[in-house]
Amino acid sequence: MLSRVTVSSAPVTPSTLQTVLVGPPASGKSTVGELLAEATGRPFVDADAASADFYAEVGWSVERLGERASEVGFAQAHGEWEVALAQAVERLVETSPGAVLSLGVGHSHVTDDALFARVVRALASADQVVLLRPSADPAVSLEVLRRRCVADKGTTWHVGDEDWLAMWLTDGRDEAVATHLVLTGDDTPAETVAAVAALGGR
């Protein structure tokens, strides 16, 4: 069951839990993940940086995704790519016990039902799956995240006729896999780290 928490003032202590961070682009997963790992004495694994070998196990690469997007459009290419995303989630969880793992947004937003079931099963073995959001209000979150994406990544996430950021924010897939929701609001990364570190397991 997804539980919602806010910032904690409790001291950050060492941990051996496997914590998976999910959320939309620019929600702070990588920043919080690195700081959390350092504060709790755990390794940090960024899925986008660590998954190349796992994608290759099913014949995919980021380069192939780009090539397919040029040939058939981003939406169709992303659908074809989802088998690699599901594979990576399974292998990342399997090979990163006791780590803080930050999932790139696509990994938790696989749209094929059978592949998403694989993602759900894999993440069910993690001690915590923490969803980071700026606000409980989707409209506020969308505004905040859009502004951050433009500033930090140079994109609004409008691709063709699709608003991918809005889709990722509202499709319910992060909520389906998360055990906890942390609303970051105007908190500093350190404050968000304290909130996540105060969480228990499932």
Token digits of residue 62: 């980021």
For the chain, how many residues are written? 202
pLDDT tier for residue 4 given thresholds of 50, 70 and 90: low
Could you tell me what percent of the chain has a pLDDT over 70? 93
Kindly tell me if the per-residue pLDDT of 6 is higher than 50.
Answer: no
Element (H or E) spanning 163, and its range?
Answer: strand 162-163
Distance CA 4, CA 53 (A): 34
* Of 12 and 176, the one with more pLDDT: 176
Q: Report pLDDT digits (tens) over 52-107.
A: 999 999 999 999 999 999 999 999 999 999 999 999 999 999 999 999 999 999 99
Q: Are strands 158-159 and 162-163 parallel, antiparallel or unpaired?
A: antiparallel
Map out the domains of the chain as residue ranges: 3-197
For residue 124, the model assigns a pLDDT of 97
The residue type at 174: D
Could you tell me what percent of the chain has a pLDDT over 90? 88
Evaluate whether 169 touches 142 at the Cβ level (below 8 Å).
yes
pTM (2 d.p.): 0.92
Q: Is the dihedral of CA 150, 64, 171, 196 positive or negative?
A: negative
Q: Report pLDDT digits (tens) over 129-170.
A: 999 999 999 999 999 999 999 999 899 999 988 999 999 999
* Of 8 and 94, the one with more pLDDT: 94
For residue 11, the model assigns a pLDDT of 57
Question: Comparing C-alpha atoms, which of 47, 15, 3 is closest to residue 194?
Answer: 15
- For domain 3-197, the CATH class is alpha beta
C-alpha neighbours within 13 Å on the C-beta side of residue 138: 9
Element (H or E) spanning 55, and its range?
Answer: helix 52-56
Contacts (Cβ under 8 Å, ≥6 apart) of 50: 92
